[in-house]
Every structure is written in C-alpha cells, then in structure tokens.
Structure 1
Amino acid sequence: MSGGISDLDKNRTLEQLLQWQLRQVRGRIRELEIKEQQERRRREQAHAALRWKIQPQRSSSAALVHRGDCALYPAEGGFLTREEAMIALAEPDIEACQICKPETGLVDG
C-alpha cells in the first residue's frame, strides 16, 4: 500500500456520501409530498366553498342548507348544484344555516 488513500477507503467515503445524498433526497421527497397534500386539501376546500349541501331534518329542527365548506355539517359528498340549492331554500321546511349563510353564495353566483 502506498502513502495515499486506498481504493477501499475511497469507496467507503463515496458510500457515506451517497447515503447522505439519498437521505437528503428522501427528506426533500417527504417535504414535497406534504406540500402536495396541503395544496390538494386547499383546492378541495376552495371547491367545496362553491357548492352546497343539505343537513337532513331532525325531529326538533328543520333541514338546513349549508355551504359546502361549512364546519357545522362536515358531510363528505352529496353536494348540490347552485340551482338545486336555490330550489331547496325555496322549500318551506328547509332553512339556510345561520352561520355559513349559503344564500350569500347563491346571490353572488
């Protein structure tokens, strides 16, 4: 063996460098996946805000129309179109949620 760094030592050092790079890339992938999930949730929430949903009537209260993103009735799916929500609000036994005020979105639409 001469006075320089051996091939074995060079390859062990290269291995450590590559492992470090792989950890860095995997960390970046995790960051990007989280960012992508957050963006998808944001788009879904924005889309839900443009839709409406009906909370079924309970024995002590009327059925309620909510904006799609209303937290008081967080049902998934079953969204109404603008026209369907307007028809529902015209019914005598269906009321608008007093918190999210779905009629505002209908008037502005």
Structure 2
Amino acid sequence: MADPSQISRLDKLRITREYLAYQLQRTDTAIRELAAQEKQNRHRAEQARADQGWKIQPKRGEAPPVLHRGGCATYKAKDGMLLDRGQARLAVTHETYIVMCEICTPQTDLQEG
C-alpha cells in the first residue's frame, strides 16, 4: 500500500471528487425515494378523505341528480366539492328527487353511525 503522504494533491482531489459523487448519487436516490413515498402518502390521504365523503352529480337534461360516495370513479367532482354525512343526508331529504349511484351505493353509509 502506498504511503498516504506520497499521494499527490491531484490524486487526493480526484479521490475526494469520486467519494463526493458517490455521496451525491446516494443522496439523489434517497430524495427520489422519499419524494415518491410522500406522493403516495398524499394520494392515500386524499383517497381516504374522498372515501369518507359524498358528492352529487348535477342533473343533466332529464336525468336526475345522482348521489355518489366520494371515492366513486363514476363521477369526478371538482376538488373541495365533497359533502360530509350530514350534508349528504340533508341533500337527500331536501332535494325533490335524487337517485343513488348503483355502483357505489352511497345510501348504505348514510345511516346513523
């Protein structure tokens, strides 16, 4: 093994650069992994929020308005347009005619609970 005092300054700088490049690569990998994990966590939180809410598809032509669970893919509501249980119950009782989505069956979760 060579005596460290015999390694030229240029070689020391090249070794240091290689080590720092390695550390940068590892840091970039960790950042990408954490960013992906945070994105998944945000998506899960948004999905959980949607699953706990309801949304109303507006009346179209002769078709009556339709009540959906927040996570129902049949109708995409705009962000922030979710109703809580009380609001959904109120809409169902005060709306002249509102139908329940046959796919997500929102009425099962409108019961007292």
- TM-score, structure 1 length as denominator? 0.89
8 Å Cα contact 1:89/1:96 also seen in 2: no
The residue number in structure 2 matching 1:86 is: 89
Query: Which one-letter code corresponds to 1:72 in the other structure?
Result: T
SS of residue in 1 equivalent to 2:61: coil
Query: Which one-letter code corresponds to 1:25 in the other structure?
Result: T
1:64-99 superposed Cα distances (whole Å, 9 cap, x missing partner): 011111101111221112112112223341111110
The residue number in structure 2 matching 1:63 is: 65
TM superposition shift of 1:60: 3.2
Structure 2 unmatched runs, 5+ = none
Q: Distance in 2 between matches of 1:13 and 1:21?
A: 12
Please point out which of 98, 103, 108 is paired with 1:99.
103
Query: Which one-letter code corresponds to 1:79 in the other structure?
Result: L
Structure 1 unmatched runs, 5+ = none
1:21-73 superposed Cα distances (whole Å, 9 cap, x missing partner): 11110111111011011011101101111111100011131100111111011
Q: Distance in 1 between matches of 2:112 and 2:90?
A: 16
4+ runs deviating over 4 angstroms: none
TM superposition shift of 1:108: 5.9
The residue number in structure 1 matching 2:42 is: 40
Please give the root-mean-square deviation of Cα atoms over the aligned residues, in Å. Answer: 1.8
The residue number in structure 2 matching 1:21 is: 23
8 Å Cα contact 1:50/1:105 also seen in 2: no
**Identity rate, percent:** 44
- TM-score, structure 2 length as denominator? 0.86
8 Å Cα contact 1:66/1:100 also seen in 2: yes
